[in-house]
């Protein structure tokens, strides 16, 4: 399943014009900011350039923190003008350190840059001096520290609630000058869009659909069948051609490695390709096709931009190869057919698959939801029903423990076994 989104301006109601800036989305009519797409940033050439420059700019974070600390000390002494001046310098520095956090126009329009610096510095000052916002921020930090990547939705829902309360409080304080002239409700919408977009890869497809519709509207977010793989998840699923195990592989991986038979191969092109998607415009209902490899397309009738939410990992992958090349080390080229690991025979294939499932439980127990692991188990053991798969997990648990699996792995396997048995029981016909 793939997701496509049609951004609609919450200030004037018009459809958006991405104008080539696909990370920060602006309205095509009033130019208000409408949303933020982290996945688009990770697919951009700007991100690739930022990765190349990071060693050069990294020391600047220390200077940024010094300005923030100086502002906090000045605010503590009641020197608000001095505190705000320190924060303006900090924001100006942050625009170079983390350009993805700011609309691209801040690097093109000096007057707009100054408006944004004043606005962001004012926001940061309120976080320091307003008791209500400061208390909410303390709660935000506690919630973030408690993030369970195996079940991130409760954290996201709590952060959305706290962020709404913070922004509602900010709207009551004097002194704010929105750099885009947006009303508080619209600015809040952009902030929530940014927060939700950051969490999407950790969520299940069903959870992504729900939270995106809660932010952008039911008619503006559609699920589309026809994608050959999950286009957003932190990991893509790869089937080993030798032992047939399905396994999680990182989006930015430079090669795929089977955790069962330990063979290694180049990342198959079909795993990182974006499928052709056929959907309907959320504005006028006309049929729209997003071509293979493309991120967005304008509706041929009303002109509304329809965009897929996707990430291939190609920027990180290319960056790793570039870094290795710069180091002078020559990375061995993998043959197209890959390099075999443990010899796979009809007699040992099942045991290798179970070992691969055990290793994945050990490695990913804190990073995936049980429903995600269930699907890997089912696809790796297609010849079995859920009751038989649940029985095989007893052997997987033994192998997991033998490879020093911890409590998180044990819990994941227990939850997976329970899900399989529950499904088997629900589908069993009455005698």
Q: What would the pLDDT profile of 314-345 be if each residue is shown by its tens digit?
A: 899 999 988 888 888 877 788 888 999 999 99
Q: Are 243 and 353 in contact (CB under 8 A)?
A: yes
> Which is more confidently placed, 406 or 424?
406
Total residues found in the chain within this entry: 431
CA dihedral 238, 314, 223, 212 (to 10 degrees): 120
Does the pLDDT of residue 10 top 90, yes or no? no
DSSP letter at 202? Answer: G
How big, in percent rounded to 5, are the helix, strand and coil portions of the chain? 55, 10, 35
Distance CA 203, CA 147 (A): 13
Instruction: Kindly report, residue by residue over 223-234, the tens digit of the pLDDT.
Output: 876 555 677 888
Distance CA 268, CA 281 (A): 32
The dihedral built from the CA positions of residue 236, 239, 240 and 245, taken in this order, carries a sign that is: positive
Q: Are 116 and 182 in contact (CB under 8 A)?
A: no
Residue entry with tokens 């859920």: 386
**Of 274, 363, 273, 266, whose CA–CA distance to 321 is shortest?**
266
Residue 430 pLDDT: 53
Instruction: Kindly report, residue by residue over 255-279, the tens digit of the pLDDT.
Output: 999 999 999 999 988 777 777 888 8
Q: pLDDT class for 1, splitting at 50, 70, 90?
A: low
Mean pLDDT of 49-77: 96
Distance CA 398, CA 274 (A): 38
| Whole-model pTM over 0.85 | no
Instruction: Kindly report, residue by residue over 148-166, the tens digit of the pLDDT.
Output: 988 899 999 999 999 999 9
């Amino acid at each position: 399943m793939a997701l496509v989104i049609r951004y609609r301006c919450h200030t004037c109601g018009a459809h958006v014009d991405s104008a080539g800036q696909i990370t920060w989305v602006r309205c095509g009519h009033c130019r208000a900011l409408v949303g933020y797409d982290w996945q688009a940033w990770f697919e951009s050439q700007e991100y690739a350039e930022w990765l190349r420059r990071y060693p050069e700019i990294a020391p600047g974070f220390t200077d940024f923190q010094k300005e923030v600390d100086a502002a906090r000390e000045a605010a503590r002494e009641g020197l608000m003008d001095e505190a705000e001046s320190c924060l303006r310098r900090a924001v100006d520095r942050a625009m170079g350190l983390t350009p993805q956090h700011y609309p691209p126009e801040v690097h093109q329009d000096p007057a707009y840059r100054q408006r944004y610096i004043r606005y962001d510095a004012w926001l940061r000052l309120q976080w320091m001096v307003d008791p209500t916002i400061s208390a909410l921020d303390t709660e935000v930090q506690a919630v973030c520290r408690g993030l369970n990547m195996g079940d991130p939705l409760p954290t996201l829902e709590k952060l959305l609630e706290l962020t709404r309360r913070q922004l509602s409080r900010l709207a009551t304080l004097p002194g704010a000058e929105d750099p885009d002239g947006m009303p508080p409700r619209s600015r809040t919408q952009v902030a929530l869009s940014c927060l939700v977009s950051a969490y999407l890869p950790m969520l299940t497809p069903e959870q992504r659909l729900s939270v995106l519709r809660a932010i952008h509207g039911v008619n503006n977010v559609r699920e589309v069948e026809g994608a050959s793989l999950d286009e957003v998840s932190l990991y893509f699923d790869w089937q080993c051609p030798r032992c047939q195990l399905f396994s999680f592989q990182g989006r930015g991986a430079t090669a795929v490695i089977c955790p069962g038979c330990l063979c290694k191969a180049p990342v198959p092109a079909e795993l990182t390709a974006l499928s052709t998607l056929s959907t309907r415009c959320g504005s006028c209902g006309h049929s729209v096709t997003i071509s293979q490899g493309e991120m967005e397309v304008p509706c041929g009738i009303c002109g509304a931009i329809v965009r897929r939410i996707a990430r291939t990992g190609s920027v990180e992958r290319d960056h790793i190869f570039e870094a290795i090349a710069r180091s002078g080390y020559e990375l061995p080229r993998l043959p197209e057919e890959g390099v075999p690991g443990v010899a796979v025979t009809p007699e040992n294939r099942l045991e290798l698959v179970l070992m691969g499932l055990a290793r994945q439980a050990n490695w990913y127990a804190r990073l995936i939801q049980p429903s995600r692991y269930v699907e890997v188990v089912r696809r790796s053991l297609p010849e079995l029903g859920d009751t038989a798969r649940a029985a095989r997990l007893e052997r997987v648990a033994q192998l997991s423990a033998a490879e020093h699996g911890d409590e998180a792995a044990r819990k994941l396997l227990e939850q997976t076994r329970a899900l399989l048995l529950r499904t088997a029981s629900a589908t069993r016909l009455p005698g």
